[in-house]
Chains A and B, each alone.
Chain A
Amino acid sequence: MVQIALNGLRVEVDEGMTILEAARFYGIAIPTLCYLEGLSPYGACRLCLVEIGSPGQSKLVTSCTYRVEEGLIVRTDSDWVIKRRKMLIELYLATCPSSKVIQDLASKYHVTSVRFTPWYEDCILCGLCVRMCAEQMQGKAIGFAHRGSNRKVTTPFDKESEVCRLCGGCMYVCPACQSRCQGPQEEQPVCNACLNLQQPCLDYFDDKMCFMDPCVACELDTNRELKVKRRL
């Protein structure tokens, strides 16, 4: 067991755990798109960024790949993290507005406008399908091809795969193509219809919003400062 400081709480976690696993074990939500229990961590979606280290010397790391170490100070929802995460969600929303998973994330993080031209792509290249196929289904029917902006998930040489068993595992794990959001329009890629579903904030602590689950919506609330003042 190693002791870490998780959002100001001293907690004990198993050695070898990643920050993400530790945080989830203690009920702290960290958003992810490319992580799935049972598949190897990939670190590509960058949403699980957390701040580690003491203030002034801290840095952002991906919690899905970073293993806990004795005395590690982790802040899962600091201002720095939230700012970067919001920008990433805005980028996701502009890339793939028809994904319900992404629209929900946007709602949760109060991303209400998108300042980029929407692309309406169907894939965010999280690689879940590739890892699902290789690691769980022992299929290795699909993989990545090309690089940079041309990168895509495909079968070898774009030909119909002989090893694919049509199990559908790839589609099952896909955050972008399975459940679709009908909300976004050509001009405005943000749906935000589910915005009302956000949970009300229970209480305000110094380091995190609520004891059980730092409701990020609360931190992003424009009235937050007022709320703090009121409390004082």
Chain B
Amino acid sequence: MNTNTRSKLAIPDDLTKRREMLKDRLDPKKQRIVVCGDTGCTVCGSRELVPVIEKVLQERGLAKKVELKIAGCLGFCENGPLVLVFPGAVFYQQVQAEDAEEIVEKTVLQGEIIERLLYTDSADGRKITCAYDIPFYKLQKRVLLETGWYIDPLDIDDYIAHGGYAALAKVLGEMTPEGVIAEMKKAGLRGRGGAGFPTGLKWEFCRASAGDEKYILCNADEGDPGAFMDRSLLEGNPHAVLEGIIISAYAVGAKEGIIYIRIEYPTAVLKIEQAVRQARELGLLGRDILGSGFDFEVAISKGAGAFVCGEETALIRAAEGKVGEPRQKPPYPADVGFGGKPTVINNVETFVNVPLIINRGAAAYHEIGTESSGGTKIFCLVGKVKNSGLVEVPFGTTLRQIIFGIGGGIKNGKRFKAVQTGGPSGGCLPEEMLDLKVDFKDLAQAGSIMGSGGMIVMDEDTCVVDVARYFLQFLKSESCGKCFSCRVGIQRMLEIYERITTGAGSIEDLDLLEELAVTVKDASMCGLGQTSANPVLSTLRYFREEYLAHVRDKRCPAGVCRPLFRYSIDKELCIGCGSCAEQCQAEAIVETEEGSYSINPELCTRCGVCMEICVADAIIKG
């Protein structure tokens, strides 16, 4: 359907009619090429791929017959650029521009499979054709991400064809605001932003709050390093976010909404702006939505991307155009929020769940997940894991299933050491905790947090002391500095870490560190400070031996903290080629009388170059 037929949808029936007209878009036999347009794949060259495929399709006269789509994130970021060919969901990975012609020629025209572009299962070495058979996808429960495979995020009609805005029509036509809230509560939906506050309850508080002027704020300020699920949702399915926002506005009684999105996500900004524009054109935003008498408008506010602005009170201030600093709660935003008015703040992922709950019904939705947390959660599985990418699993899935099942285990045959959940302010969990069921409560008990869903896997070459130091470094530069305990507490913890990682630490330092960490946790104003102690406390709890090795034996077992390990040359293995001595910038390697070489630890800077170039593997770290 082209743009000139875009007339407003005045009543729910118009929406149904429009969907009926778009029916052929759902045709399962229709040939489609879906190219991943997400950042990871774009970096690997998916943008160059699209014009080439377009050109080949034009040349063969297939432009009308075969649909070419640039989707949002397809999930398996490790192996980008990704291309899916329908029907059959043929999955091609690491596709480059020169493969485009072959894909059209063989797969589209003749139905042949190109072996070399297929995914090879690391467990048994077999090639897998269909995307749904790949363990990475097969073991997931993709209810939020699924639609992203089929729709063009820039086209509202694609979303409508796939059942989009049906939930909104249902809500506006058949449900009362209280009914919507009750449905959310029954579904067990909890905020996906980190704290996991029950969404229905939050809406109820805001609805009960005094005043006519209320706001909906969408938190799209995803700040955790290594987390990209909100970006992927905004880029892959922006209308689902928007639909969730409109439904929540109806439930709460808000007339205006604001999407606070970081400017570092230019593609996501572009797509959500386009989505808002299209929804407005069709009358899904604005006055009298679908003839229900309900008015709602959405504005987009772009933030400069400070980590602390993901905290709700800081986000409100930033959206108001002030310095992004949190304030002490209570009063909570449900009472005093944007412009001093009652405000509901939810995360992007929370909003995407809303239409799903309405469409499926709360009971069916809650069948997935655990008693306390309903539904699925998207994780960004990154780090030293074989299959990194976007992973959606039900609450209650164990860490082992995620890391070793979907993730395929640790890269390069190394051993698993720890997993950090919840971004920089989450905790590191050891191997013993792998059978932990992932939900808000269990993770908190284990000393970590759900956070927004980052999951960083670490192998045996990682020093957890150094990891904690690294995260504190991040938090130090991202702390707003308003409250004393967070600003100074983090700096002081970092000071202690500097001592420990350079060999100047003592056993008393560990006690001081713990005492300081719990103070920062208990005394800080906002979520940033309160969770900043998590990496410290969790590593102290689970990896105390490693800390002791640093302070007592002055040794870094993983060989990361430079002053705490040494390189030496095994004389038996050394073949005396001398290439290490040639490469050593510090001139720390000298020839010995026996014709082999030795390293002077005084001069050695622990750069590790010698170890890398040694052909005889004679250089030992430890």
Contact = CB atoms under 8 A, between A and B. Distances in A.
Interface in B450-491: 476-485, 487-489, 491
5 contacts: A44-B482, A92-B484, A148-B477, A149-B479, A149-B491
Contact of B328 (A43, A88, A115, A149): A43
A66 B525 CA distance: 12
A65 interface: yes
Residue among B328, B516, B525 with the highest chain A CB neighbour number at 10 A: B328
A156 to B, nearest CB: 13
A65 B523 contact: no
A148 B487 contact: yes
A60 B522 CA distance: 7
B484 A45 contact: yes
Contact of B481 (A84, A88, A147): A147
A91 B488 contact: yes
Interface string B297-310: 00000000010100
B484 A125 contact: yes
Contacts of A88: 484-485, 519, 523
Contacts of A13: none
A148 B481 contact: yes
Given A88-B484, A88-B519, 8 more contacts: A46-B483, A60-B523, A91-B492, A147-B308, A148-B487, A149-B481, A149-B491, A151-B481
Interface string A99-132: 0000000000000000111000000111000000
A116 B482 CA distance: 21
B350 interface: no
B476 A149 contact: yes
Contacts of B479: 147-149
Given A46-B525, A49-B523, A88-B523, A148 B484 contact: no
A176 to B, nearest CB: 12
Contacts of A41: 328
Q: Tell me the dominant secondary structure on chain B's binding face.
A: helix
B28 interface: no
Nearest to B308: A147
A52 B525 CA distance: 16
Interface of A: 41, 43-46, 49, 60, 62, 65-67, 80, 83-84, 87-88, 91-92, 94-95, 115-117, 124-126, 144, 146-151
Residue among A41, A44, A67, A115 with the highest chain B CB neighbour number at 10 A: A44
Interface of B: 306, 308, 323, 327-328, 330, 476-485, 487-489, 491-492, 495, 508, 512, 515-516, 518-519, 522-525
A144 B330 CA distance: 23
A115 B482 contact: no
Contacts of B519: 83-84, 87-88, 91
Contacts of A147: 306, 308, 479-481
Contact of A44 (B476, B492, B515, B525): B525
Given A88-B485, A148-B477, A148-B481, A43 B523 contact: no
A148 B476 contact: yes
Given A46-B484, A46-B523, A148-B480, A91 B328 contact: no
Given A66-B330, A91-B489, A147-B480, A116 B495 contact: yes
Contacts of A94: 492
Contacts of A45: 483-484
Contacts of A60: 522-523
Contacts of A148: 476-481, 487
Given A91-B488, A144-B323, A84 B476 contact: no
Nearest to B518: A84
Contacts of A95: 488
Contacts of B495: 116-117
A155 to B, nearest CB: 16
A180 to B, nearest CB: 20
Given A65-B328, A87-B519, A149-B491, A43 B483 contact: yes
A203 B157 CA distance: 77
A69 to B, nearest CB: 9
A58 B491 CA distance: 28
A145 to B, nearest CB: 10
Contacts of B487: 125, 148-149, 151
B516 A87 contact: yes
Contacts of A91: 484-485, 488-489, 492, 516, 519
Contacts of A151: 480-482, 487
Q: Which 9 pairs from chain A and chain B are nearest by CB?
A: A151-B481, A43-B328, A87-B519, A65-B328, A148-B479, A148-B481, A46-B523, A46-B485, A44-B483
Contacts of B306: 147
Contact of B524 (A46, A65, A115, A150): A46
Nearest to B511: A115
A41 B329 CA distance: 12
Nearest to B492: A116
Contacts of B327: 43
Contacts of A126: 484
A151 B481 CA distance: 6
Contacts of B492: 91, 94, 116
Nearest to B475: A148
A49 to B, nearest CB: 6
A87 B515 contact: yes
Contacts of B515: 87
A141 B275 CA distance: 43
Nearest to A143: B323
Nearest to A145: B323
Contacts of B483: 43-46
